Structure 1
Amino acid sequence: YPDTPLFIANALLMLVIIYITRKGIEAIARSGELLFIFMCFLAVAGFILIISSGLIDFKNLQPVLKEGVLPVAKIALTETLYFPFTEAIVFTMLLPYLSNPKKASVTMICATGLSGINLIITMIINISVLGVDLTTRSQFPLLSTVQTIQVADFLERLDVFFMFAMVIGIYFKVSILFYAYIIGTATLFKIKSPSRLAYPLGIIVLFLSITIASNFQEHLYEGLHVARFLLHMPLFSIIPILLLIIAFLKNRKKQHR
């Protein structure tokens, strides 16, 4: 919808997110159980259609590590490490609400590993179908891959698959971040009913989403050049490590006493 104002699209999504966060973390988790099955169905169906179309050419993956391991390690440490994996630190805000906290570490490790495997498979498919150059230039490589699907000269233009997956993914990402935002604010200001903060904080997030980046190009610039150094590195890497060290030292002092 290129002619639809950005405010309308963002407001519709924020209304849904405000509603689900007011219902609590259990509502978010239960919606995740339902939509996860739908996401798996989309992924399997898309993979089958790509294979059926005969689009995959594994020669596009060659040569492997042409310039050695250093360029791969550089990208992993400067881009992939901070986004998306370090954002998993937000889930620590949800640990006090688990019915079985002992399974938290195993669950988070499995979820992070599964996310990594999904990213690897997706990138392999994108490069196998589009090639390195087109994958690098494309803003949404997976969308470009899905657009190339053509089965029996009638099943094509399956962009809706990609849009379903993107909307669901953004819904969960923003919901978790927004819920952590509400819980953190309520704890900081000692507010007994965090759900009351959903509407005012939601309005703040809505207007900031437009003022910080009014289009996709600005969003990319903010994410790659500004947020990486001002937010991702300190909030997702430096501060958690410092807190871990402080907690370790405090526990050590208690044990000595």
Structure 2
Amino acid sequence: MEIGMQRISNYQLFTLMMLFQIGTTIIFGFGSGAGRDAWISVLLSAAVGIVITGVYAILLIMHPGLTLVEWFPKQFGKWPGSFLGWLYPLLFIYNAGRGLADMSFLIPDTLLPQTPPLFSVGLLVLLLIYGLYKGIEVLGRLAGILLPFILLLLMLEIVFLLVSGTINLRELLPIAGKGWAPILKAVWPAGITQSFGEMSAMTILWPLAKSRKGAIRTALLSTLGTGLLIAATDILALVVIGEPIFKRAYYPMYILLRQIEVGELLDNLDVLAVLYFVITVFFKTVLYLFAAIRSIQLLANLPSIRPLVIPASLFALFMSMTMTDNLMEHIMGVHMTILSPYFWIPLQYVLPIMLLLTAVVRRFVFKKRW
């Protein structure tokens, strides 16, 4: 079935967006630089994410049936607007490659130390290609099944940790004990550009929802739900493994699950962390690729996305294998120091706000419609 004929329910859209926004943050520890106040940085980042989602929602109302990359030519003219629109598929493919790079480090570091990263990442790419060929409807149904599964595992994890007696709520005190500077540093720019700022890719899905008004409400609720969920996982990690380990560890959730020990029946459930990661990185990457190839299709007026699936997926694989040499550079290197503040902030926040201001002026001052 071609893309124009596919539709997803509001529930499927909600689950897709939540899994997309959760991404790899549930494993790496969102806002870990803020230490015991990481959960505050998550909530502040989510609040900013809700605001930018509201901006996208207003733009969707003003451009019914159109996607992000189509809004720019409508407002800024064909050539300037098309140039700006083409920046987004490049952003989406880069972030897809970054998600695959995350997996290329995690799997060898945890479950399969002797397995070449290319093997595990290559298998995931085959699944991505299969999912893209099956279409957004199938991905939506799969997300509708897997998100409740992840939430159930998370609740069981909390129960097991309570039974293990490893929770110490004093680890959260004092709140903002080091002031607000570390919290705000975790929010800007990393906090608002990962997960919540990435809603730009999800605007490509919104016109595919069966209800436009429902899609807007769903997007806002998914951002709020994601913020609460990530904040809860940060709190859980802090009260179990403590601030020093949470700040230093590359995979705090992986270490967290190793603390579960219920008698001699249940221990070392760190495989659950890898299961979380594989599920969420699959959806984050497949939706980024979908957003990229759908954007290219719209900008280039192509009849189908199918010819783009394999080239885009292989390019993301190539990027994941070549963008960085080690995990430290991957986490704190060019992405955080250059791309996040100087490229992602303009693309995720500045340009959409400029687009909204332009649309409002054209409609209500110059009375122009399209």
TM-score, scaled relative to structure 2 = 0.66
Residues 125 and 313 in structure 2, CA contact (< 8 A), matched pair in contact too: yes
What corresponds to 1:118 in structure 2?
229
What corresponds to 1:30 in structure 2?
141
What corresponds to 2:364 in structure 1?
252
What corresponds to 2:255 in structure 1?
144
Q: What displacement does 1:224 show?
A: 2.0
Q: What letter is aligned with 1:77?
A: W
Query: 2 CA distance for matches of 1:166 and 1:36?
Result: 12
Query: 2 CA distance for matches of 1:71 and 1:40?
Result: 30
Q: Secondary structure at the match of 1:16?
A: helix
Q: What displacement does 1:10 show?
A: 1.5
Q: Which whole-Å deviations, capped at 9, do the CAs of 1:97-156 have from their partners, x for residues lacking one?
A: 111111122111110001110111111111111111111001111111101111113310
Q: What letter is aligned with 2:211?
A: N
Q: What displacement does 1:254 show?
A: 6.2
Residues 129 and 313 in structure 2, CA contact (< 8 A), matched pair in contact too: yes
Q: What displacement does 1:214 show?
A: 4.0
Instruction: Report the RMSD for the aligned CA atoms in angstroms.
Output: 1.7
Query: 1 CA distance for matches of 2:158 and 2:190?
Result: 27
Superposition map of 1:213-224 within 5 A: 213-220=324-331, 221-224=333-336
Q: Which whole-Å deviations, capped at 9, do the CAs of 1:179-217 have from their partners, x for residues lacking one?
A: 000011111222111122101111111111111124423
What corresponds to 2:92 in structure 1?
none
Q: What displacement does 1:50 show?
A: 0.8
Query: 2 CA distance for matches of 1:17 and 1:61?
Result: 39
Q: What letter is aligned with 2:192?
A: L
Query: 1 CA distance for matches of 2:162 and 2:334?
Result: 36
Q: Secondary structure at the match of 1:167?
A: helix
What corresponds to 1:186 in structure 2?
297
What corresponds to 1:203 in structure 2?
314
Q: What displacement does 1:3 show?
A: 2.3
Q: Does 1:234 align with 2:361?
A: no
Residues 142 and 162 in structure 1, CA contact (< 8 A), matched pair in contact too: yes
Query: 2 CA distance for matches of 1:222 and 1:174?
Result: 20
Query: 2 CA distance for matches of 1:215 and 1:68?
Result: 32
Q: What displacement does 1:256 show?
A: 6.4
Q: What letter is aligned with 1:191?
A: L
Q: Higher relative contact order by CA 8 Å / sep ≥ 6: 1 or 2?
A: 2
Residues 213 and 222 in structure 1, CA contact (< 8 A), matched pair in contact too: no
Unaligned 5+ residue runs, structure 1? none
Further displaced range: 112-121 or 228-237: 228-237
Q: What letter is aligned with 2:358?
A: I
Percent identity between the two aligned chains:
28
Q: Which whole-Å deviations, capped at 9, do the CAs of 1:60-92 have from their partners, x for residues lacking one?
A: 111111133343233223321111210112111
Aligned residues: 257
Residues 189 and 341 in structure 2, CA contact (< 8 A), matched pair in contact too: no
Superposition map of 1:150-189 within 5 A: 150-189=261-300
Shift in CA distance, 256/83, structure 1 to aligned 2, threshold 3 Å? closer
Query: 2 CA distance for matches of 1:179 and 1:32?
Result: 15
TM-score, scaled relative to structure 1 = 0.94
Q: What displacement does 1:96 show?
A: 1.5
Residues 189 and 345 in structure 2, CA contact (< 8 A), matched pair in contact too: no
